[in-house]
Structure 1
Amino acid sequence: MVITICIGSSCHLKGSRSIIQGLEKKIRENELCSQIELNGSFCTGECENGVCVKIDDELFSVSPETVDTFFENEVLRRVR
């Protein structure tokens, strides 16, 4: 699975760094390092709501406050 987090200026200001750190932590805690690849990208053009995060080709809007829920509901569901 490839998760891509926007690190463009708008998403950076909305907390993309915190989201990356949160996802890295959750991936380690769940021992999924060999199954999930984290990538960064610049603007995806969908930054109105929050930080743009893609799982493969599906786009999500995530905030630092929702990263744990996003991981549980979207990432773990696809891995298991």
Structure 2
Amino acid sequence: MVVKICLGSSCHLKGSYKVVQKLRELQKEYPNLQLVGSLCFGNCINGISMEIDGKLYSGITAGNVVEIVKECMRKKGESNE
């Protein structure tokens, strides 16, 4: 699964670095999780943005990112092997 996280100035100021830290921790459990940085999704007003396999998610925080990614993985049938 490919997860792109916005690292543009607006998302950076809203805490995207902390989101990236959470995703890196999640990679230890799910080695097939690929993280990619993006400069902007053009969705700045809606908070930190993230794209998973082409679908845009907004309002991402360090508190909700792990559950969102895990839910997407469950829907795709991906395991942590």
Scaled by the length of structure 1, the TM-score of the pair is 0.83
Deviations along 1:1-55, one digit per CA (max 9) or x if unpaired, are: 2110000000001111011110110121x2x22x121000101101222211001
RMSD (Å), alpha carbons: 1.5
**% identical aligned pairs:** 36
Kindly report which structure 2 residues correspond to 1:1-80, keeping only aligned pairs within 5 A, or say none: 1-28=1-28, 30=29, 32-33=30-31, 35-61=32-58, 62-78=60-76, 79-80=78-79
Equivalent pair of 1:26/1:71 in contact (CA under 8 Å): no
Give the Cα–Cα distance (whole angstroms) in 2 for the partners of residues 26 and 7 of structure 1. Answer: 18
TM-score (norm 2): 0.82
Where does the alignment leave 5 or more consecutive residues of structure 1 unmatched?
Answer: none
Structure 1 stretches of at least 4 aligned residues deviating more than 3 Å after TM superposition: none
Aligned residue pairs total 77
Shift of 1:76: 4.1
SS at match of 2:18: helix
